[in-house]
A and B are shown apart, each in its own frame.
Chain A
């Protein structure tokens, strides 16, 4: 890399002026003439046979253009796709509207298309559905128990898939252990709650036989391929546009029923059709995250050395597989080693169908679960062995010289220095003093807790097929167009990609436009998820910019009639060594390349290049989060006193963007630890169906975050960047829970399942008091 000016600089997000002023154009802001509005009738029951649907009254309602039911259209639209999984995977048919049976609350049954967006929901109220209620199972453990109602009658039970992976000599590990520590852990279901719910606008242009679908998606190119298959069109006939997208967190890394349905309706009615998800629909019918319950066993030596780990887990799949549902729980198994040398690890995974919405990728996608398992266990080990949790961690860390570090689970961590990040965090938080304070305050019956989480995660998806595409074009005017197959939806790559290109070509950032999210504009792509947009997509852009620079060098050499080796590149200009006045700027070269009157032989006109990048390995960002809490046993209230995060995502392109990702990530992880849970009752009714009863963290709940970094570049890509989209979420949850458990250690508390509500804390403290230990140790 040349000496950089912009890469590494705190460049303000170029996206923000339009977003802050409300000028962003989201799907719902796009208005085409004669658009019809779609509303979807959703099942109020978790499991029921549809005996009959009476739609006549809705069809007659003034302003209603069409009503369709699942049974009517099931043969006309392909079922929803799913990827991943092994040979045990069972894939039930997942129609865009349920045909004869509903399997979860919120599953679509019928759709009304009306001239006005107020009319469509009015007409929904006129549809009469007769249901035959079926037995419901909403708990994943009960779903696997003998005698459970079976959701999909094609199979004898509710097993969605299974895997049982054993790495290393577990028998030996558990035989040689001084102690075996066990813990049951629940990773509750979460709703991703992107600030913009989903939305779809579809328009079929019959003259061109082209279907354009605007969707609030993270994966326009993937969606295009899937939609063309579902609607039996050629890929050429489908264009997907992801306009401004108001967050996704994995929930828009999917192909949803409504996308297929709206495409179908646009084709059938030959009119633009629009559907905008309401928040209640968003919680019912957009994927959930997490949803695992497992038993962990750790085999340890007296000194804290971890010899082996067993995790027997049930993953709550919901009623159907969405796009990557089967791919998520295996990530937990892959990352169970955390940032420790554990010679033997097993994961026995059973995925269960339940009468609930599907789970799928939500910020972290399998890694928060792995991190929670190992980080909770390390603290359990420390507590059982009465060793400081810092010591247990340091004892089991691989040394910096051991990288690439191969885990028992078979992944090779690219680079790392876990000691450095931990030591830095300890110093910032003032660990030794905090421990002294803790002791002192306990004698005053005040309960301070210090929670650590030393995490490592896997991102920049990835090798084996997850490439990304980039193109850099210098226009004859000197303006630069950057095209990316990544589809950022809030992360800020319009800024960071421009920084990369500006440095490479020596042009002003203001002269660079980053284009993404339109399959007609960008030839190909995969999308934004798994913290890959910069670490994979950004590298494709970097490589394309390098190619452009090389072409410019060849052209400069031709125009200036000097050898290419005799040219110096600086500030966007090639000049002849020793004759600085003789030179050409990239803009001048671009103009000549466009005019193409005097090009070297076989050289194509215009100054542009494209590239794809597929990394040779994943990247493994890591860090240490330390959370300090004070818990009030009398009220169950948890106050966060300090929060220190030292994160390492390799080289940083824009510290502001990285801090933003970390902040948002920590808040979402803290949400899981303290507040959030998607609750269904035993009848499969969703009890947390709106933001009045699904508790998100709010600004007033948040501590001041002390964020800093270490920088360990990855060897996996030429910029040394690892990705940072999910690390905050992955690192923070166990830090918070560990802190609260640490605070309540005098009460004999060894574990509390999330979310750590005041009610739970208060009850625990009351129980201990009743048992006579009285808050002393």
Chain B
């Protein structure tokens, strides 16, 4: 149950995360709660080269209830 080696970044903003994702494409995976990804990595069924940790991005913390006025629903969704 030991994952292969990988790089890790924890961007501070959404823009930074999007950029990292664009730069690394398929080789990168987003890390949110990790409940699916980390077990797969430990089984070596997933071997991403880079993990982009979303936990430091202020806009993605907590759940907020908003009345949906337009079709663009927003759901910030990292819960720890």
Q: Which residues of A contact B (CB under 8 A)?
A: 117-118, 121-122, 125, 278-280, 690, 692
Q: Are B44 and A121 in contact (CB under 8 A)?
A: yes
- Beta-carbon nearest neighbor of A276 in chain B: B1
Across the interface, A690 reaches (CB within 8 A) one of B2, B5, B43, namely B43
Q: Are A279 and B2 in contact (CB under 8 A)?
A: no
Across the interface, B2 reaches (CB within 8 A) one of A121, A125, A692, namely A121
B47 to chain A, nearest CB (A): 9
- Beta-carbon nearest neighbor of B47 in chain A: A125
Q: Are A278 and B1 in contact (CB under 8 A)?
A: yes
Q: Are A118 and B1 in contact (CB under 8 A)?
A: no
B4 at the interface (CB under 8 A from A): yes
Q: Are A122 and B4 in contact (CB under 8 A)?
A: yes
Assembled-state Cα–Cα distance A122/B6 (Å):
12
Q: Which residues of B contact A (CB under 8 A)?
A: 1-2, 4-5, 39, 42-44
CB-defined A-B contacts under 8 Å, sample of 18: A117-B2, A118-B2, A118-B5, A121-B2, A121-B4, A121-B44, A122-B4, A122-B5, A125-B4, A278-B1, A278-B2, A278-B42, A278-B43, A279-B1, A279-B43, A280-B43, A690-B43, A692-B39
- Beta-carbon nearest neighbor of B42 in chain A: A278
Assembled-state Cα–Cα distance A121/B43 (Å):
11
Q: Which residues from chain B contact A692 at a C-beta distance below 8 Å?
A: 39
Assembled-state Cα–Cα distance A692/B1 (Å):
14
Q: Which residues from chain A contact B2 at a C-beta distance below 8 Å?
A: 117-118, 121, 278
Q: A125-B4, A278-B1 are in contact. List 15 more A-B contacts (CB 8 A).
A: A117-B2, A118-B2, A118-B5, A121-B2, A121-B44, A122-B4, A122-B5, A278-B2, A278-B42, A278-B43, A279-B1, A279-B43, A280-B43, A690-B43, A692-B39
- Beta-carbon nearest neighbor of A281 in chain B: B1
A118 to chain B, nearest CB (A): 5
Assembled-state Cα–Cα distance A121/B42 (Å):
11
Assembled-state Cα–Cα distance A118/B42 (Å):
11
Q: Which residues from chain B contact A117 at a C-beta distance below 8 Å?
A: 2
- Beta-carbon nearest neighbor of A124 in chain B: B44
Q: Which residues from chain A contact B5 at a C-beta distance below 8 Å?
A: 118, 122
A494 to chain B, nearest CB (A): 29
Assembled-state Cα–Cα distance A361/B5 (Å):
38
- Beta-carbon nearest neighbor of A691 in chain B: B39
Q: Which residues from chain A contact B42 at a C-beta distance below 8 Å?
A: 278
B16 to chain A, nearest CB (A): 28
Q: Which residues from chain B contact A280 at a C-beta distance below 8 Å?
A: 43
Assembled-state Cα–Cα distance A117/B1 (Å):
10
Assembled-state Cα–Cα distance A280/B2 (Å):
12
Assembled-state Cα–Cα distance A117/B44 (Å):
14
- Beta-carbon nearest neighbor of A280 in chain B: B43
Assembled-state Cα–Cα distance A666/B31 (Å):
39
- Beta-carbon nearest neighbor of B39 in chain A: A692
Assembled-state Cα–Cα distance A122/B39 (Å):
17
Q: Which residues from chain A contact B1 at a C-beta distance below 8 Å?
A: 278-279
Q: Which residues from chain A contact B44 at a C-beta distance below 8 Å?
A: 121
Assembled-state Cα–Cα distance A278/B45 (Å):
13
Assembled-state Cα–Cα distance A690/B44 (Å):
12
- Beta-carbon nearest neighbor of A125 in chain B: B4
Q: Which residues from chain B contact A122 at a C-beta distance below 8 Å?
A: 4-5
A318 to chain B, nearest CB (A): 23
B65 to chain A, nearest CB (A): 28
Assembled-state Cα–Cα distance A125/B42 (Å):
15
- Beta-carbon nearest neighbor of A692 in chain B: B39
Assembled-state Cα–Cα distance A512/B68 (Å):
67
A106 to chain B, nearest CB (A): 14
A196 to chain B, nearest CB (A): 12
- Beta-carbon nearest neighbor of B4 in chain A: A122
- Beta-carbon nearest neighbor of A116 in chain B: B2
Going nearest first, the 8 A-B pairs with the smallest beta carbon separation are A278-B1, A118-B2, A121-B2, A280-B43, A117-B2, A690-B43, A122-B4, A279-B1
A454 to chain B, nearest CB (A): 42
Assembled-state Cα–Cα distance A278/B43 (Å):
8
Q: Which residues from chain A contact B4 at a C-beta distance below 8 Å?
A: 121-122, 125
Assembled-state Cα–Cα distance A714/B42 (Å):
49
Assembled-state Cα–Cα distance A125/B4 (Å):
10
Assembled-state Cα–Cα distance A172/B43 (Å):
58
Assembled-state Cα–Cα distance A420/B44 (Å):
54
Assembled-state Cα–Cα distance A689/B5 (Å):
23
Assembled-state Cα–Cα distance A477/B54 (Å):
61
Q: Which residues from chain B contact A690 at a C-beta distance below 8 Å?
A: 43
Assembled-state Cα–Cα distance A122/B4 (Å):
7
Assembled-state Cα–Cα distance A125/B5 (Å):
12
Assembled-state Cα–Cα distance A125/B44 (Å):
11
Assembled-state Cα–Cα distance A118/B1 (Å):
9
Q: Which residues from chain B contact A121 at a C-beta distance below 8 Å?
A: 2, 4, 44
Assembled-state Cα–Cα distance A280/B1 (Å):
9
Q: Which residues from chain B contact A279 at a C-beta distance below 8 Å?
A: 1, 43
Assembled-state Cα–Cα distance A690/B2 (Å):
15
A688 to chain B, nearest CB (A): 14
B80 to chain A, nearest CB (A): 22
B44 to chain A, nearest CB (A): 7
Assembled-state Cα–Cα distance A278/B44 (Å):
11
Assembled-state Cα–Cα distance A118/B5 (Å):
8
- Beta-carbon nearest neighbor of A117 in chain B: B2
Q: Which of B2, B39, B42 has the most CB of A within 10 A?
A: B2
Assembled-state Cα–Cα distance A347/B32 (Å):
57
A555 to chain B, nearest CB (A): 55
